[in-house]
Amino acid sequence: MAEKTLNDLFLDTLKDIYFAEKQILKALPKMARASQSEEGKAAFLQHREETQGQIERLEQVFELLGKPARGKTCEAILGIIAEGEEIIEEFKGSPALDAGLISSAQAVEHYEIARYGTLKAWATQLGMKEAVVLLDATLQEEVATDEKLTQLGEGSANKKGTRKSA
Ligand code: FE
Ligand code: FE
Ligand code: FE
């Protein structure tokens, strides 16, 4: 068996995040529907649009590698999304629902930030300049989304979820 290199690791991880982005694309409209605040709904829908573009960027990276765009099951994102669904289920109709949705969405963003940060570093190491630009563009969107979610949480959702008299 041939020795595996950073090239193999890069391709495997690219497949992992490609699978993850497609799952996220399906999860975001559900989170938008569940959100009680209009701001939250708008944020989830806006990020769904961005996610579509991110999937296209990944397809461009596959193309640069001369490989078919194919996903590889990512158990981590399935678990993170399942936890989010659990919150939607268990906090339906409660004032803390939006705080829970934001926390789930941030878990997703943090996973993506970890993945894109690594992919960008590896693409740099491998001398794949065009891939670095594509991966960095997505990384910046994930970071901006994470920051926006923090603002939504600290701006209103966390307060709303706190019991006033206890
Ligand atoms: Fe993404
Ligand atoms: Fe994964
Ligand atoms: Fe994201």
- CATH code at 103? 1.20.1260.10
- The per-residue pLDDT for 162 is 87
Which-ligand-closest: CA of 76?
2
Q: How far is the CA of 70 from the centre of ligand 2 (A)?
A: 14
Which-ligand-closest: CA of 47?
3
Q: How far is the CA of 165 from the centre of ligand 1 (A)?
A: 39
Domain with 54, as residue range(s), is 6-160
The verdict on residue 113 lying in a domain is: yes
Q: For the whole model, what pTM was predicted?
A: 0.95
The verdict on residue 139 lying in a domain is: yes
For residue 1, pLDDT beyond 60 = yes
Q: What is the mean pLDDT of residues 130-134?
A: 98
Q: What is the mean pLDDT of residues 61-67?
A: 98
pLDDT digits (tens, 9 = 90+) for 86-130: 999 999 999 999 999 999 999 999 999 999 999 999 999 999 999
For residue 140, pLDDT beyond 70 = yes
The verdict on residue 36 lying in a domain is: yes
Q: How far is the CA of 1 from the centre of ligand 1 (A)?
A: 34
Q: How far is the CA of 164 from the centre of ligand 1 (A)?
A: 36
Count of domains observed in the chain: 1
The verdict on residue 138 lying in a domain is: yes
The verdict on residue 151 lying in a domain is: yes
The verdict on residue 166 lying in a domain is: no
- State the Cα–Cα distance between residues 163 and 166, nearest whole angstrom: 7
